[in-house]
Structure 1
Amino acid sequence: MGAVPESHSGWTFLTNHARVLAAIAADPATRIRDIAARCRLTERAVQKIVSDLEEGGYLSHTRRGRSNTYRIEEGTILRHPAESGLAVAELLTLLAQHDADHGDGSRQLESAPPHARSLKSDS
């Protein structure tokens, strides 16, 4: 098993759930281990978050051999009342745009949801 990621103190703007969802949007066939490394979380934490997202209707998976392929339910509305009417697809579009603008999203944007790719091609 890999080393525990470096801890972070203080608050952040994005939740770990948003980070995991963005990692899955970038690569729907990604492994829990890779999500954990990218998001600087433990594999156990990522497994719990994926379970939360599936229970909440934001994510589903298909088992292929020993791997999972994830599917994001893009029309699902964000949970907090302050974001009423905002779909998960809109959040992922913003995150994909940020990655693309900062040069670390070339691979991520190619495998991003179609709405994220069309946003980049429209700009």
Structure 2
Amino acid sequence: MGEVSETYAGWTFLTSHARVLAAIAEDNHIRIRDIAARCRLTERAVQKIISDLEEDGYLTHTREGRTNVYRIEPGTILRHPAEAGMTVQALLSALAHHDAQRDGQPRR
């Protein structure tokens, strides 16, 4: 997802839930502390978001030693009726494509 920009006050197009999911998609061994820093959220907020995502079936985790390993359920359909039929994988693919173009990487 690249470098984190300066703190931004105001509304944005992506929700915190989408940002957390994208951070996990990039590194499924990422620590809550690192997600919080990347997404400009508190660790408590990230814990709540992860709990929300797990509760609704978008994400699961297992423990490996002292760390969590996350697994995104890519076929899960997004919740809002306006995105009817769109999967988590489609959303994450769009975000990854954007990041690759921004970072000058070849298109996937």
User: Same fold by TM (over 0.5)?
Assistant: yes
- Number of aligned residue pairs: 102
Alignment of 1:75-94 (within 5 A): 75-94=75-94
Task: Measure the CA separation in 2 of the matches of 1:94 and 1:40.
Answer: 21
C-alpha deviation, 1:103, in angstroms: 1.1
CA shift at 1:7, angstroms?
Answer: 5.6
2:50 aligns to what SS in structure 1? helix
Mapping of residues 1-123 of structure 1, within 5 Å: 8-103=8-103, 120=108
Letter in 2 for 1:44: R
1:110 is matched with none
Cα deviations by residue, 1:33-78 (Å, 9 ceiling, x for unpaired): 0000110101010000000000010000010111000000000000
What is the identity, as a one-letter code, of the residue corresponding to 2:83? Answer: E
- Tell me which amino acid in the other structure corresponds to 1:71: R
Contiguous gaps of at least 5 residues in structure 2:
1-5
Aligned CA-pair RMSD:
1.6
Identity of aligned residues (%): 71
Runs of 4+ in 1 over 3 A off after TM superposition: none
SS at match of 1:77: coil
Indicate the residue corresponding to 2:3 in structure 1. none
For 1:8 and 1:80, how far apart are their aligned partners in 2? 25
User: Using the alignment, how far apart are the partners of 1:25 and 1:76 within structure 2?
Assistant: 14
**Counterpart in 2 of 1:113?**
none
In structure 1, stretches of 5+ residues that fail to align are 1-5, 107-118
> Given the two structures, how large is their TM-score scaled by the length of structure 1?
0.78
